[in-house]
Amino acid sequence: MRTLSTAGSFSLLAVACLTIMVGCVIVPGLPSIAEQLGIGDMASWLITLPSLGVVLFGPLAGRLIQRQGLYRALCLGLFAYGLLGVAAAVLHGPLAVFADRLALGGATAVVMAAGTGLISLFYQGEARLQMIARQGMAIELGGVIFLFLGGVLASLGWHWPFLLYLMAWVFLLMILAFVPRPDESGPTDDSALTKVPITAALKRVLLAASLSMICFFTAVIMLPLRLHELGFSEAQTGYLLAYVSLVAVAAAAVMPRAARRLGEYGTLAFAFVFYALAHLAFACADSLTLLLEGGLCMGIGFGLSIPLVNHMTLEQSHVALRGRNLAWLSMAIFTGQFLSSFMDYLPGQRAVVFVAAAALAMLSAVLLTVVHKRVRATHDGRLSND
């Protein structure tokens, strides 16, 4: 196996940023972009349809990787990602725009699976786990960078944020220049093991991942609309959302210590408490102070939950089933993103949506607390028997 240089490692981490970039680059200018594309009443679907595309085209992405190999599939995915991402700027009407966003989700599925697959080929053991941790940090930092740039470009014109999708072509050139083509002569997956059922513990982790993304993306979708009502500019909206991502990076850095002290499910429960506090702050916000407090809590909730469910999936997966289970985790995460779009259909003012999300977060926190106590009781019982 050929080694990977620092530039090659950076290139694979840069590719990981595209997973959050798929929706966030147009979030700061969402109201005006949706209006210009002829879907003003369905703005949230611009953000969530790529998530549905990941879920729908995930199996096809796996077949493409199996036929073409990880390296070639990643290159094809990056090219399609840039082309489909920027193409929406010249389309109009629900049919054309939504079809393009769904296809963009398919390209994202290929990029996600092939990028993580290449990491698993170049890194083994502890080095692989560290690289996957860096990948999670890269995704969150990507949110900071691309939300900021999206806000700046949206202030120049509604169509400018779409140019950020062409970063995929820049990353494609980096992959071709710095990442050597690995030996993929062996099998890339263990299809015979796909019949092994998913454990109950892993199902709980997948459910927590979906609930976390519902809570997080409800805020991502609704905040631009809420801030628009309060008179904030699109650039200011981008700054606030970038602030949330920056807090998430800091929270992810302290997540391992929190998990050791509170336990994994206890940490997840605290993450959902922060989600609830964030949505309540957004529901009542009439000043920048409450918005910043809500953004702080939202970033903490995301930073404590999403990296942790990734870690828990790895810990609860046999090495031969790790790829399949991580694929299920990706589908769970993007399912949560897609389901968050339905929160916009709740009757009443937008504050009602935030209150409903807060209620969902608190219910999730209670359920996770119950699971945490059961897991701890089981663990203590085993220790006493030993």
Domain annotation for the chain: domains and CATH numbers: 1-180 (1.20.1250.20), 194-386 (1.20.1250.20)
Tokens 């779009």, residue located: 341
Mean pLDDT of the chain: 85
Structure tokens at 319: 């090495």
Confidence (pLDDT) at 269: 95
By mean pLDDT, which of 132-146, 285-299, 317-331, 364-378 is the weakest? 317-331
Say if residues 142 and 17 touch (Cβ distance below 8 Å): yes
* Confidence tier at 76 by pLDDT (50, 70, 90): very high
351 vs 367: which has the higher pLDDT:
367
Confidence (pLDDT) at 180: 93
Say which amino acid occupies 14.
A
315 vs 87: which has the higher pLDDT:
87
Could you tell me the sign of the dihedral formed by the alpha carbons of 37, 39, 40, 45, in that order? negative
Say which amino acid occupies 379.
H
Confidence (pLDDT) at 31: 85
Long-range contacts of 256-260 (CB under 8 A, 24+ apart): 258/304, 259/308, 259/311
Q: Is the pLDDT of residue 276 over 90?
A: yes
Say which amino acid occupies 90.
V
d(CA 55, CA 48): 11
Tell me the pTM. 0.77
* Confidence tier at 375 by pLDDT (50, 70, 90): confident
pLDDT tens-digit readout, 182-226 = 876 544 444 555 567 888 888 999 999 999 999 998 998 888 888
How large a percentage of the chain has pLDDT more than 70?
90
Say which amino acid occupies 67.
R
d(CA 48, CA 80): 19
Confidence (pLDDT) at 275: 97
**Phi/psi at 130 (nearest 5 deg)?**
-65, -40
Say if residues 191 and 90 touch (Cβ distance below 8 Å): no
Tokens 């796909």, residue located: 194
H runs (alpha helix) in the chain: 6-16, 18-24, 30-36, 44-68, 70-87, 94-122, 125-156, 167-178, 200-229, 234-262, 264-284, 288-315, 322-339, 350-385
* Confidence tier at 382 by pLDDT (50, 70, 90): low
**Phi/psi at 14 (nearest 5 deg)?**
-65, -40
Average pLDDT (377-381) is 64
Confidence (pLDDT) at 221: 82
Confidence (pLDDT) at 190: 47
Alpha carbon 298 to its chain's center = 14
Cα 44 to Cα 62, 218, 292, 297, 309: the distances in Å are 28, 9, 23, 22, 26
Confidence (pLDDT) at 21: 85
Instruction: Give the best-scoring range by mean pLDDT among 14-18, 113-117, 125-129, 246-250.
Output: 14-18
Q: Is the pLDDT of residue 22 over 60?
A: yes
Q: Is the pLDDT of residue 138 over 80?
A: yes
Confidence (pLDDT) at 205: 92
Confidence (pLDDT) at 343: 84
Confidence (pLDDT) at 329: 79
d(CA 160, CA 257): 41
Average pLDDT (349-378) is 88
